[in-house]
């Protein structure tokens, strides 16, 4: 593709990439500095993550992207587990547009070792889990249940456990479902349409639709119901993801092939 571009067009794309990258670095550094100071003043505050989410999602126009957020009327103002699909690093700009107040995320313990980001991630009040240590992971999930109940928190979890990178919805890990059942809180699926084609050297990166779906209740369920609940939610989210991909592509004037075939 680049071979058929004129020198001026190629230069324009390179400059676009450079300008966007520089702007993103500057804005993210400002967000980290400002947000870090706020976190030092109010460490582990229940709304720190929401604050960062607002700042990160505000840079979406720089990406040449339009994000549409839709929220089911059935979602109540109460603690819950948000189940979000995890595609790539752009999640930090797209999914964050939907993060409500009183919500923290569950992330890998290794994030704590990332310079600056890891320390602020922890200080914001997010929960770190050691997935390589089964015993510690169970302890973390038990403490998460405790935080949900005592601090009236909602938890944002990527149940796939890894980035899908345009491969559709990957299988779910069981932890989120056991946590929700133990806490007795509903599970709210949150889906972002396909964003695997976002490219910083392209002017228009189309549309990403974020849909917060109707909650799945867990009251009265036991650990034995976790697998069935996971399968039910996965099937519902897979079907919805396909529809969202088609809708987002239509809004952007593109065609899209099925990722879940």
What pLDDT score does 143 carry? 86
What pLDDT score does 254 carry? 73
The encoded tokens of residue 44 equal: 């582990």
Whether residue 261 is contained in a domain is answered as: no
Whether residue 193 is contained in a domain is answered as: yes
The model's pLDDT over 208-236, given as tens digits with 9 standing for 90+, comes to: 999 999 999 999 999 999 999 999 999 99
Whether residue 170 is contained in a domain is answered as: yes
Whether residue 260 is contained in a domain is answered as: no
CATH of the domain at 24: 3.40.1130
Which residues, given as ranges, of the chain have pLDDT below 70? 1-3, 5, 255-261
Task: Find the Cα–Cα–Cα–Cα dihedral 245, 247, 250, 252, rounded to 10°.
Answer: -70
Cβ-contact 121, 107 below 8 angstroms: yes
Whether residue 186 is contained in a domain is answered as: yes
Taking the whole predicted model, whether its pTM rises above 0.85 is answered as yes
Q: Which domain does 132 fall in, by range?
A: 2-251
Cβ-contact 17, 200 below 8 angstroms: yes
Whether residue 258 is contained in a domain is answered as: no
What's the total number of domains in the chain? 1
What pLDDT score does 218 carry? 97
Whether residue 236 is contained in a domain is answered as: yes
Rounded to whole angstroms, the Cα distance separating 23 from 57 reads: 14
Task: Find the Cα–Cα–Cα–Cα dihedral 94, 53, 151, 81, rounded to 10°.
Answer: 0
What pLDDT score does 255 carry? 58
Strand pairing of 187-192 and 207-212? antiparallel
What pLDDT score does 250 carry? 94
What pLDDT score does 256 carry? 55
């Amino acid at each position: 593709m680049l071979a058929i571009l004129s020198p001026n067009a190629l230069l324009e794309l390179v400059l676009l990439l450079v300008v966007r990258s520089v702007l993103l670095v500057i804005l993210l550094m400002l967000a980290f500095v400002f947000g870090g100071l706020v976190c030092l003043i109010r460490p582990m505050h229940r709304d720190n993550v929401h604050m960062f989410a607002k700042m990160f999602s505000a840079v979406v126009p720089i990406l040449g992207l339009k994000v549409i957020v839709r929220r089911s009327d059935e979602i109540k103002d109460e603690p819950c587990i948000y189940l979000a699909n995890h595609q790539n690093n752009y999640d930090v700009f797209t999914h964050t547009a939907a993060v409500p107040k009183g919500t923290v995320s569950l992330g890998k313990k290794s994030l704590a070792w990332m310079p600056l980001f890891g320390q602020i991630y922890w200080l914001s009040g997010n929960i770190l889990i050691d997935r390589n240590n089964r015993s510690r992971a169970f302890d973390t999930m038990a403490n998460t249940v405790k935080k949900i109940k005592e601090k009236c928190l909602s938890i944002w979890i990527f149940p796939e456990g890894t980035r899908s990178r345009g491969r559709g919805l990957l299988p779910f890990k069981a932890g989120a479902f056991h946590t929700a059942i133990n806490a007795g809180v509903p599970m709210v699926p949150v889906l972002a349409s396909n964003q695997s084609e976002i490219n910083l050297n392209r002017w228009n990166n189309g549309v990403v639709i974020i849909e917060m779906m109707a909650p799945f209740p867990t009251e009265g369920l036991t650990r034995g119901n976790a697998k069935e609940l996971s399968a039910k939610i996965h099937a519902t989210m897979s079907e919805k993801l396909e529809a969202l991909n088609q809708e987002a592509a239509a809004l952007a004037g593109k065609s899209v092939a099925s990722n879940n075939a």
